[in-house]
Amino acid sequence: MIPDDVLKTGFAPLSTALIADACVRLDLPIRAAPATLQALISGSHRVGRAVPVRHYGSVDIFLDVLETTQPGDILVIDNGGRMDEACIGDLVVLEAQAAGLAAIIVWGVHRDTTDLLRIGFPVFSLGRFPVGPVRLDPWDDDATHVAQIGSVAVTRDDLVFADDDGVLVVAAVHGEQVLHTAHALWERERHQALAIHQGITLRDQVQFRAYLARRHTDPSLTFRQHLRQIGGAIEE
């Protein structure tokens, strides 16, 4: 299991885009939240161990699960993608911040936006809505074991990567390998970007004319295969 300090420092220079590319390179499933789930505060960039919880109409389930969290964890709230009730506001966010959590991911909407912006704690949600829940449903037995974010099922065996591009979930067992691969891709892309600034076009760097010639004789050749053969990086 990757240590928390290595996880945090390892993700610091990376983006979720690079994490996604690393998953493609490693042939791991892409477990991305829908594009509609976005950061409330621009510049939010967080990674942490997932703490899933499903909302049933009251904040008590959030307080319950906070009894079992560790600093740096990310609370992943499943409110079924509902847009007709805000399941968190300033008090829940302040409580999560006091518990040392890294972020809150909400498959649903939030409220108290002005206060949340002032607090500055990273919140990722489907948007904002002024009305809180008026229902009170019974908890399921696995209410604090699995949360659904779009089509992605999140458990405590997962890591959550989140930034301005969105939210990705990766099995913790693959965390170190994904970070290592993402760093290699990052270094390669930085080298390519520097070369472009120095006047070497991306087409020259990736030997694009040679690729076109090879594809002429072998139509089954893909650009991704070509890049892997020459050690390039742009698509993954």
Does any domain span residue 47? yes
Residue 214 and residue 169 share a domain: no
Q: Report whether 195 contacts 140 (CB < 8 A).
A: no
Does any domain span residue 195? no
What does the pLDDT average to over 138-161?
A: 95
The total of structural domains in the chain comes to 2
pLDDT of residue 189: 87
Residue 224 and residue 167 share a domain: no
Does any domain span residue 66? yes
- Sheet architecture: strand order including 74-78: 31-32, 166-171, 158-163, 46-54, 74-78, 103-107, 123-125, 38-39
Is 90 among the annotated ligand-binding positions?
Answer: yes
Helix, strand, coil share (%) of the chain residues, nearest 5 = 40, 20, 40
Is 111 among the annotated ligand-binding positions?
Answer: yes
Residue 206 and residue 162 share a domain: no
What does the pLDDT average to over 138-166?
A: 96
Please determine, for residue 236, whether its predicted confidence score (pLDDT) is greater than 50.
no
Is 179 among the annotated ligand-binding positions?
Answer: no
Please determine, for residue 222, whether its predicted confidence score (pLDDT) is greater than 50.
yes
pLDDT digits (tens, 9 = 90+) for 25-67: 999 999 999 999 999 999 999 999 999 999 999 999 999 999 9
pLDDT digits (tens, 9 = 90+) for 161-180: 999 999 999 999 999 999 99
User: In the structure, what pLDDT confidence band is assigned to residue 233 with cuts at 50, 70 and 90?
Assistant: low
- CA dist 180 and 187 (Å) reads 11
Q: Which residues are CB-neighbours of 224 under 8 A, at least 6 positions away? A: 235, 236
Please determine, for residue 157, whether its predicted confidence score (pLDDT) is greater than 80.
yes
In the predicted model, what is the mean pLDDT of the chain? 94
Give 63 or 191, the one with higher predicted confidence: 63
What does the pLDDT average to over 195-210?
A: 92
Does any domain span residue 188? no
Is 89 among the annotated ligand-binding positions?
Answer: yes
Residue 215 and residue 101 share a domain: no
pTM across the whole model: 0.90
pLDDT of residue 232: 57
Is 4 among the annotated ligand-binding positions?
Answer: no
Q: Which domain holds residue 213?
A: 201-231
- Of 177, 193, 218, which closes a domain? 177
pLDDT of residue 188: 86
Residue 210 and residue 112 share a domain: no
Strands 74-78 and 46-54: parallel
